[in-house]
Structure 1
């Protein structure tokens, strides 16, 4: 497969929103119209359907993992693998199928990290779990994991290109959480088990 086609295919795969598709399959409201308005697993969970949230999480993570894993499996150049990783992530953030209005990228980024290194993904996930368990803020947990991920990547990944990709994905993820950052700072962010 031509390298450019592989990158484009990754973007198109990233543009599939499992939050929207799963919610529709379960007869739930479009996640873009409720809660935070984000079509991700956390907002789907606010519907009360844990299975729907789990399927959203797995779907968004899998679409981040699959194209990067395939690019590595077919021994594409590291540079191409990096573009594939960025493309699938941008597809989730700015999906062509949904007028370029997508999610914040937490699960998809985790999938990319998993393809780069299971240990890297595990450390990022552990960071998320610890912060969420302590604070009940999914956004703060995601921001913490994003802030730590480049450091983990620097320690674990031998390819400088992959490290740069992790840094770029982390910056984009933090940028997509800018409204959450404002709410965290002014105390209006809604956490699970907390009154907003």
Structure 2
């Protein structure tokens, strides 16, 4: 029982559960009655929200996609800020960041399926590594603008974030390790494997 009364463990569980809330699915069902798990890429993320709903109502689709991005990004941020407010260690905050992304990608509410973790990852990393994440967002924006391929833009941003983190912070402050960043990257890349295969085959569709 001591395990579950540990404040760190409680926050880890909270991070995973909140991370698993499928906001894209909830918004799409609430406002359009559409189950995005059964359409498009079947992902719960903003890209699929936009892809599926724009056929019915482009204006509403954009609004719901933006709302999905914001809510998904805030999942981990809220828990980390709460953890920071009560004085949990930086190591605990990084663990919360990883578990928030893990919860989004393998949601306990969706039989451990979920989204690709990009928005949630951006949220937690913007809080923990703001400079590197801003550079990654610039890379994402440039790639999205030039290629119109969401997955390629996300993977490009992730690559820039990892490289810049090693350059700007050879040792991550307070924890002296890039392990949490690499774990988040591994989760996101794993969820993008089908996209990577299509990119290699030049079959990935423009979606941004």
TM over 0.5: yes
Where does the alignment leave 5 or more consecutive residues of structure 2 unmatched?
1-5, 55-60
1:185 shift after superposition: 0.9
Q: Name the TM-score, length of structure 2 as normaliser.
A: 0.87
Query: Counterparts of 1:137-148 in structure 2 under 5 Å?
Result: 137-148=149-160
| CA RMSD, 1 decimal | 1.7
Pick the structure with greater CA Rg: 2
Aligned twin of 1:182 = 197
1:80 equivalenced with 2:85 (yes/no): no
Note if 1:11 corresponds to 2:16: yes
Equivalent positions of 1:61-140 (< 5 A) are 61-140=73-152
Kindly provide the CA deviation profile for residues 50-100 of structure 1, in whole angstroms up to 9, marking residues without a partner as x. Answer: 001000000100112211222223221122112111111111011111111
Report runs of 4+ in structure 1 exceeding 4 Å deviation. Answer: none
Instruction: Determine the C-alpha separation between the residues in 2 that align with 1:51 and 1:162.
Output: 38
* Contact 2:90–2:175 under 8 Å retained in 1: no
What is the Cα deviation at residue 124 of structure 1? Answer: 1.6
User: CA offsets, 1:2-22, max 9 Å, x none?
Assistant: 111011011110010111111
Rounded to whole Å, the distance in 1 between the matches of 2:97 and 2:119 is: 13
Verify: 1:173 aligned to 2:188, yes or no.
yes
| Number of residue pairs aligned between Structure 1 and Structure 2 | 193
Aligned equivalents of 2:32 and 2:124: distance in 1? 29
